[in-house]
Structure 1
């Protein structure tokens, strides 16, 4: 394995994490044939297959699982070296790797665009996963920072809140419960819900809310995409427990509505997270400071009207 290259290891690690050569190619800004070639050459160096190929998806062989442990260590050591050198270069250039939960797709790219306008020579890599995926990426030193709602307890991390994160029950605009005004949580007992997959922070928050109010909702469908859940809700297939930050466009265009439920919105916080064991690069430090300074104001501009309306309803109920 003396001729193994870093590009081969990067392709291998990305394909392992994403379960797809095509997705790895998209993340690494390569073509799928280029990724396939890199992995084929790596398998030639190893002398054994690293993936079981089934259609468009791939999974690791036992050999692949063992090699992945060492590949991640090599890539993490290289990233630490890059970060150390970056401290001598300052903020003129460098690479910043940020992980985000899918719910953050609705606001984080705009913040990153503003940040990059201030540092045009930097290279930013952004990848999306559920909470479980991001915790693994932080643990394996695959990202500098992660943006998520519920910070990990499994790792020694520094998790700093930067904005409120309200979660609501979304419904079609013609749903019968909308005519009844404010409702107790028990009104949801017989409703069908379209929910996120296990490992999602939104799914965990929903389950905690229903545990607290002693309700077992009927799950009619499970999906890993907020966009697909919204489409299913608008089609009348069920209710959705979603972040308010994912439905701003649909609320403005009156294509989706929010039920007024006692105890909701469930207000959580957005966090920017990094591991304590990792020395942050100047770029990571700069973006951390940027999101802590500008994140809340940005979300207030984008979604403030709806969040304020929900908060006003809560206050009115408390005073009545």
Structure 2
């Protein structure tokens, strides 16, 4: 039976070009390396090297054996890394709830560092809307969350939280719909134009137990996510509020325009928070993510 040690010797000889160099790399004697190669040739039933020249060259079959050995050794290394990963108590899977209104640029730097440091942990990103992120953390479906929030909402739930950025929400519509609206004087005049609303992905309890920013008697359509909402607004099928980072390009090229009212401040700014349960049971990966968001909260050093 072919042994892993023999495959490692084969790799070293091919990469260094000689038994002498391979023995130095492996910290073994030249006879030991030569013996391992001979044993491998016996196991495979063929010569793996052409020894007629100054430098060892793989035979045709030897090249096939060598390439297959690289795949085997890579899988063994991956398995060893996976075993070490779990021996150190690192999570197999971790779920994060990310509100749809969060600018991805806030979280991707932290996630990039996590991917590098913990490549064996599967990260599940749950897309949530409004109270969905709170529900995900409360229920344990997510270890932590990132969402635009009022601090009072997080304090009401008893969460540990920290600010990591800001988001500006703007009420927008396609130019054709803006033109159809004419000169608006009051917010109530928007009721006769369809408002597109992203449905809450949570239970909408507490402060969420109402449709924030929706007037009584307002014509409305519902969508499941902000990308569908944006598509409907660009198509002129309604108006609604979207985060500035999502529509910056649409506003710049005129695909969407901001709704302006002379005496009403429609856009609003909110803090984006990372939050988790006050007494979390966290593994090293969750702790590293939380610490990454802590660094965002503290700002550049």
Q: Determine if the TM-score, normalized by the shorter chain, exceeds 0.5.
A: yes
Secondary structure at 1:237 match in 2: coil
**1:173-199 deviation digits (Å, cap 9, x = unpaired):** 34227985x965344343321111145
Q: For the pair shown, which has the larger CA radius of gyration, 1 or 2?
A: 2
Q: Measured at CA, do residues 128 and 293 of structure 1 come closer, stay the same or move farther in structure 2, by a change above 3 Å?
A: same
Counterpart of 1:111 in structure 2 is 109
Counterpart of 1:208 in structure 2 is 212
Residue segments in structure 2 that go unaligned for 5+ positions in a row: 1-83
CA distance in structure 2 between the partners assigned to 1:296 and 1:233 by the alignment:
37
Counterpart of 1:226 in structure 2 is 226
Deviation at 1:240, TM superposition (A): 1.3
Deviation at 1:223, TM superposition (A): 0.8
Match of 2:282 among 280, 283, 287: 280
The 8 Å contact of residues 114 and 289 in structure 2, kept in 1 or not, is answered as no
Residue segments in structure 1 that go unaligned for 5+ positions in a row: 1-84, 299-320
Deviation at 1:204, TM superposition (A): 5.2
Counterpart of 1:55 in structure 2 is none
Scaled by the length of structure 1, the TM-score of the pair is 0.52
Scaled by the length of structure 2, the TM-score of the pair is 0.55
- Structure in which a larger fraction of residues adopt helix: 1
The 8 Å contact of residues 194 and 222 in structure 1, kept in 2 or not, is answered as yes
**1:54-79 deviation digits (Å, cap 9, x = unpaired):** xxxxxxxxxxxxxxxxxxxxxxxxxx
Matches within 5 A, 1:99-248: 99-104=97-102, 106-107=104-105, 110-116=108-114, 118-119=116-117, 121-123=119-121, 124-150=123-149, 151-152=153-154, 155-174=157-176, 175-176=178-179, 184-199=186-201, 207-209=211-213, 215-216=215-216, 218-248=218-248
The 8 Å contact of residues 188 and 217 in structure 1, kept in 2 or not, is answered as no
**1:180-235 deviation digits (Å, cap 9, x = unpaired):** 5x96534434332111114578x95994345xxxx436233111121111111111
Counterpart of 1:97 in structure 2 is 95
Q: Measured at CA, do residues 254 and 296 of structure 1 come closer, stay the same or move farther in structure 2, by a change above 3 Å?
A: farther
The 8 Å contact of residues 171 and 259 in structure 1, kept in 2 or not, is answered as yes
Deviation at 1:249, TM superposition (A): 3.5
Q: Measured at CA, do residues 87 and 266 of structure 1 come closer, stay the same or move farther in structure 2, by a change above 3 Å?
A: farther
CA distance in structure 2 between the partners assigned to 1:86 and 1:140 by the alignment:
27
Q: Measured at CA, do residues 227 and 207 of structure 1 come closer, stay the same or move farther in structure 2, by a change above 3 Å?
A: same
CA distance in structure 2 between the partners assigned to 1:110 and 1:281 by the alignment:
20
CA distance in structure 1 between the partners assigned to 2:252 and 2:120 by the alignment:
35
CA RMSD of aligned residues (A): 3.9
CA distance in structure 2 between the partners assigned to 1:144 and 1:253 by the alignment:
39
Deviation at 1:291, TM superposition (A): 2.7
